[in-house]
A and B are shown apart, each in its own frame.
Chain A
Amino acid sequence: GAGVSQSPSNKVTEKGKDVELRCDPISGHTALYWYRQRLGQGLEFLIYFQGNSAPDKSGLPSDRFSAERTGESVSTLTIQRTQQEDSAVYLCASSLRPDRGIFLNTEAFFGQGTRLTVV
Chain B
Amino acid sequence: DAKTTQPPSMDCAEGRAANLPCNHSTISGNEYVYWYRQIHSQGPQYIIHGLKNNETNEMASLIITEDRKSSTLILPHATLRDTAVYYCIVRVPPSSNTGKLIFGQGTTLQVKP
B103 to chain A, nearest CB (A): 4
**Residue contacts A-B, CB under 8 angstroms, 12 given:** A30-B94, A45-B101, A45-B102, A55-B97, A56-B99, A91-B44, A95-B99, A98-B95, A107-B49, A108-B44, A110-B43, A112-B43
Once A56-B98, A103-B32, A103-B93 are accepted as A-B contacts, the answer to whether A110 and B45 lie under 8 Å apart by CB is: yes
Give the 9 A-B CB pairs with smallest separation, nearest first. A110-B43, A107-B46, A31-B94, A43-B103, A106-B93, A103-B93, A98-B93, A45-B100, A110-B44
Q: Is the CB of A48 within 8 A of B98?
A: yes
B105 at the A/B interface (Cβ < 8 Å)?
yes
Give the distance in Å from the alpha carbon of A18 to the alpha carbon of B2 in the complex: 35
How would residues 96 to 114 of chain A score, 1 for a CB under 8 Å from any chain B CB and 0 otherwise?
A: 1110000100111111110
The size class of the interface chain A forms with chain B is: 20 to 34
How many chain B residues touch the partner (CB < 8 A)?
24
Report the Cα distance A97→B95, complex, angstroms. Answer: 6
Q: Give the residues in chain B near A42, CB-CB below 8 Å.
A: 103-106
Q: Which residues of B are at the interface with A, using a C-beta cutoff of 8 A?
A: 32, 34, 36, 42-46, 49, 51, 93-106
CB neighbours (8 Å) of A43 from chain B are: 44, 101, 103
Q: How far is the CB of A26 from chain B (nearest CB, A)?
A: 12
Q: Name the B residues within 8 Å of A31 (CB-CB).
A: 94, 99
Q: Hey, which chain B residues are within 8 Å of A103, CB to CB? A: 32, 51, 93
Chain B residues contacting A106 (CB-CB under 8 Å) are 49, 93-94
